[in-house]
Amino acid sequence: MKFIAYNVRQDEQNYFEKWAKENAVPVKLVTEELTDENLPLAKGYDAVISFQTGVYPSDLFDKLASYGVKDISIRNVGVDNLDLASAKANKIAVTNVPAYSPNAIAEFSVATLLQLLRNQNIYRKRMAKNDYRWAPFVGKEIRALTIGLVGTGRIGKAALEIYRGFGAKVIAYDPYHDPKLEAQGLYVDTLEELVSQADVVTLHMPGSEGYLIDEALIKKMKPGAYIINTARGSLIDSKALLEALKAGRLGGAALDTYEYETPIFNHDLEDIGVKDELFNELVALDNVVMTPHIAFYTETAVENMVTIALDSAKAVLETGTAPTLVE
């Protein structure tokens, strides 16, 4: 049994090496993400350990099957960029890491909301010019707001507990109700009902086909409401969001993920800049907090992502299945 891991960052390397030693399983580490050019490196390996939010090679599973690979174990949650039908046709198991640290993402989402509510962008810019006046940018308190959770899985529930600690009123929407939360009367029936009541709409769900938050839904949101997205960039129509922010219909947005983020996030663009004008307009707004998909990025989460992905691959090869198997 031997594995190959792609897109291995320096902060992950020790966890890979520790696991390989403890489990007596060789793991080849490749720093580049998985591409058509380096896919042949997987020849002769039993499992591929991968992490990327962008595009995989179109014939990924056909090639992996021809190489003898039996499992692809991804170190993240989302599988929307993988052709699961092709994986099944080629009899290649797919596993993910459904919960590497719900608290990491939940905490980050609340932290970015606090930056919005307390006008941190504006004060940072003022202080850079030695302007230390307060007015007229008075802040808001979380406990005075209605928080609308979209998605009540592990991350959504972690966020719920944090918001309750602040004393906020929380409502939730999820097609699949958690019985305990339902008994508490948290759920509303539709997404439209949630956005019409919530001062803050915070997204904690997987990617979906089409936009979840589009122009029509934004128009149904409360005037001055905030959007928090630490989930998937594809959930929000970025152009419609920008127009609503510029027009003052929304109070602000905290975006840790962006619809067209693949060529931007986790790349050093200091010398060439960002060519995406939509992104540049969003980032320039005082009422937008943009971060490069780092909500997950804590020591605990990184270790869990590596070890769970490796454990899952090992389980598939030894038993034919794993608790994290994606059906």
Task: Report the catalytic residues.
Answer: 232, 261, 293
CB burial of 175-213 (b: ≥16 within 10 Å; e: otherwise) equals: eeebeebeeeebbbeebeebbebbbbbbbbbebeeebbb
- Selection from 218, 226, 258 nearest residue 112 by Cα: 226
Do 191 and 171 meet the contact criterion of CB atoms below 8 Å apart?
Answer: no
Identify any residues that bridge with 236 across adjacent strands, giving them in sequence order.
213
Do 295 and 104 meet the contact criterion of CB atoms below 8 Å apart?
Answer: yes
CA torsion, points 58, 62, 67, 72, in degrees to nearest 10? Answer: 70
- Using a 10 angstrom Cβ sphere, with 0-12 exposed, 13-18 middle and 19 or more buried, the burial of residue 47 is buried
Cis, bond preceding 57 (omega within 30 deg of 0): no
Strand 225-229 with 146-150, pairing: unpaired
Beta strand residue intervals within 30-161, DSSP E: 47-50, 71-74, 93-95, 146-150
Strand 146-150 with 93-95, pairing: unpaired
Cα separation, 261 vs 123, in Å, equals 27
Cα separation, 99 vs 322, in Å, equals 14
